[in-house]
Structure 1
Amino acid sequence: MTAGVPLTPAFVRGVLRLEPTARGVAPHRLPAWALAQAADPQLSMVEAQGAGVRIALRTAATSVTLTAHRTRVTYAGAPARPDGSIDLVVDGEVVRRTRTSGGTTTELDMVTGQPTVIPGDDLVATFDGLPTRVKDVEIWLPHNETLEIIEVTADAPVTESPLVGRRWLHHGSSISQGSNAARPTGTWPAVAARLGGVELQNLGFGGAALLDPFVARVMRDTPADLLSVALGINLVNSDLMRLRAFRAGLHGFLDTIRDGHPSTPLLVVTPLHCRIHEATPGPGAFDTEAIAEGRLAFMATGDPAEVPAGRLTLESIRTETARLVAERQAADPHLFLLDGLTLYGAADEAAHPLRDALHPDAETHRFIGERFAQHVFTHGPFTS
């Protein structure tokens, strides 16, 4: 007997929208109206990538199959990116992993910006040999690729899997999305969520954690028991605003979230250590010398002499965020601050350098997630 898994939000977790396509459904982590307001190809690309998105079901099936079509972006002249990972979790334990393949690849020329589209086949990922008992099964989609779900089938009936715990809604940058993590269950929010026993909804968007009002409204309107925002690095490397606008923007962002969640624990995380932007403003840029050597790396191009005039750095964002949160805490006892340097500081960079000068590697994602769980779920503001 073969049972089809309904492609609905009850079974596809971590999404805010399931878009019908010619093949099946495309998971999205933002609603269509938010993307229309952004009008930003970068955000449109990354919000459709499956960070925190998983297919969850309860079943006695011994075989589950996912058929999907992936879309990925690569960079001409840079080292080939590894294929994405699909992780199988059974009763809370990661038990299997398979690589993605085929699909549609867009290769970007980093000098001209011109794309080359390379078509490919659908992928079929079958997980056989599962225990015969009734169990909770999760198929975690790649955090850094887009998968259109064509179908999911099992060899026994399926029902909805219950939530694992409280609902944690988190917003951040590519670091929160999981850039350079090796697998979807290995991004630092996924690591922290598993250790904290919570149900993750990841609104980490590569290059797009920019204090956008529509993201605050999405967070306002999304059910959650725990809320967190990790803001700073994209504001610096995009050179989007000056200190005066940052103050008002962060106040407004938090005000909007509080309109829908007036007493939900809300954690503000200041930036992790990133040497190139600690005291040097953006904009960030590709390091052309590294690319010439076959490496993908980033650099800061701003002038530190302009910081007194309001150009943002990670140092100035940490200082202002701490001041602003302390100010608001007088009237908001459920607002909390976490210094990002406790998760990844200068000493950590010496031992675990950012290989592209911007993003943690797989091992670093793991210990950032473990530290977050220790500081926030075990002893901190999200203690149950």
Structure 2
Amino acid sequence: MITTPLTDALVRGAAELEQTARGVLPHRLPAWVRTRFPDPQLMGAESRPSGVRIALATTASTVELVLHTTYASYRGTTRPRGCVDLVVDGVDVASRQLDGGDHVETDLATGTTAVHEGDACTVRFTGLSTEDKTVEIWLPHNETVHLVELRTDAPVRPVESGRRIWLHHGSSISHGSNATRPTGIWPAVAARRGDVELHSLGFGGSAMVDPFTARVMRDRPADLISVKLGINVANFDLMRLRAFVPAVHGFLDTIRDGHPDTPLVLMSPIFCGIYEDTPGPGGMDLDALAEGRVVFTATGPHGPLPQLTLKIIRDALASVVDNRDDDPNLHYLDGTTLYGEQDAVAHPLPDALHPDAETHELMGRRFAEHAFAPGGPFSLRATPA
């Protein structure tokens, strides 16, 4: 078997790669953000490589990836482990569930955290065609990953996709919460349908209209951009309307400093019954937790000033786009187009907040049908020359 170093030439969708004692750690935010604002929630989210994959050309029939993961859970509950997906010449070939790795277990009753150390895991794919082909290994969206070693039975080389780059920012729903496979998160579903290169800045619990995220997006190469805001602002009770609207304008202004003409879609939250008319902050349903289930709830209203609900946020984001009518390449997408109140009947959110695997597929398909269709904001005709 041939061992190939994992470098920027092979790893797609990451901002940078950190060399560590355990191996290569893909980051989706650059070091300057991680140094200035090492918030534990954000640091955990950015290190889980949603949308990141290893892409190579090879005649190899066997591909092995050794990786050391870190996964999190709440004491008394179970959640499925992450997966590594194999895609060959654009076709899903196999998926392998991870084992081993470090386990970070949090006791919500006491707030304490225990770390259980585990071993590295080897993911092996065999029986591949010996013809020259493009291989993509999609990393788990829900576990932090150190890439230890890539082994193949034939040489590999980098590939240039030639596809347009789609840069997307959003919350845990964009990150992939409750999806079961990395290729099954809704942005990945949409990207593959639209034949574009996904660079995901979906951060669980961390779509906070942060200025540094806008600066990262300003400086990243992108042919297409989307920003999905609102749910974290509501469930953290982060802002009131007076602060939220100028913050969104500032976020868009910063992106436009680097991408003045790039097609840009501003998306509002999908339907989420607990926050439609009730503000945050969010909390856990303790009765469900006692039964070993994770279910979220909204705890508002609080305080003398009106708080943000999803209905208020959707109206606010639509008004932001209306008031920027000098930007013909800025588009608004109501998130309930991807998942609305009627969908909640057929596809209820299992934890009252995040879509399940089937709903991720539905949302990805609907976004692709909207954005990449002729005349859509991401159609080939819409992309500036």
Counterpart of 1:335 (choices 324, 330, 333) is 330
Q: Which residue of 2 aligns with 1:195?
A: 193
Q: Are residues 11 and 321 of structure 1, via their aligned partners in 2, closer, same or farther at CA, if it must alter by over 3 Å?
A: same
Aligned residues: 379
SS at match of 2:163: coil
Matches within 5 A, 1:162-173: 162-163=160-161, 165-173=163-171
* Greater mean deviation of Cα atoms: 110-119 or 216-225: 110-119
Counterpart of 1:161 (choices 159, 162, 179) is 159
Amino acid in structure 2 at the alignment position of 1:43: L
Amino acid in structure 2 at the alignment position of 1:322: A
Q: Deviations over 1:276-313 (max 9, x none)?
A: 0001110001111111122100000011896xx33111
Q: Report the CA distance between 1:10 and its aligned residue.
A: 1.5
Query: How far apart are the structure 2 equivalents of 1:38 and 1:347?
Result: 39
Amino acid in structure 1 at the alignment position of 2:21: A
Query: How far apart are the structure 2 equivalents of 1:211 and 1:356?
Result: 24
Query: How far apart are the structure 1 equivalents of 2:4 and 2:312?
Result: 49
Counterpart of 1:377 (choices 367, 372, 383) is 372
Calculate percent identity across the aligned residue pairs.
58
Query: How far apart are the structure 1 equivalents of 2:149 and 2:138?
Result: 15
Output the TM-score relative to the length of structure 1.
0.97
SS at match of 2:111: coil
Q: Which residue of 1 aligns with 2:228?
A: 230
Counterpart of 2:88 (choices 87, 90, 102) is 90
Q: Report the CA distance between 1:36 and its aligned residue.
A: 2.4
Answer whether contact 1:190 1:369 (CA < 8 A) is retained.
yes
Q: Deviations over 1:169-213 (max 9, x none)?
A: 000000000000010000000000000000000100000000000
Counterpart of 2:290 (choices 281, 292, 308) is 292
Query: How far apart are the structure 2 equivalents of 1:162 and 1:136?
Result: 10
Q: Which residue of 2 aligns with 1:263?
A: 261
Answer whether contact 1:279 1:304 (CA < 8 A) is retained.
no
Output the TM-score relative to the length of structure 2.
0.97
| Moved beyond 6 Å, runs of 4+ | none
- Gaps of at least 5 residues in structure 1 are none
Query: How far apart are the structure 1 equivalents of 2:81 and 2:216?
Result: 31
Answer whether contact 1:280 1:304 (CA < 8 A) is retained.
no
Query: How far apart are the structure 2 equivalents of 1:357 and 1:304?
Result: 21
Q: Does 1:314 align with 2:313?
A: no
Query: How far apart are the structure 2 equivalents of 1:200 and 1:40?
Result: 25
Amino acid in structure 1 at the alignment position of 2:316: E
Q: Report the CA distance between 1:3 and its aligned residue.
A: 2.8
Q: Which residue of 2 aligns with 1:219?
A: 217
SS at match of 2:137: strand
Q: Which residue of 1 aligns with 2:383?
A: none
Query: How far apart are the structure 1 equivalents of 2:131 and 2:96?
Result: 23
Q: Which residue of 2 aligns with 1:35?
A: 34
* Greater mean deviation of Cα atoms: 236-245 or 32-41: 32-41
Amino acid in structure 2 at the alignment position of 1:314: L
Q: Deviations over 1:259-278 (max 9, x none)?
A: 00000001001110000000
Q: Which residue of 1 aligns with 2:6?
A: 7
Q: Does 1:118 align with 2:116?
A: yes
Query: How far apart are the structure 2 equivalents of 1:374 and 1:288?
Result: 39
Q: Are residues 286 and 77 of structure 1, via their aligned partners in 2, closer, same or farther at CA, if it must alter by over 3 Å?
A: same
SS at match of 2:372: helix
SS at match of 1:165: coil
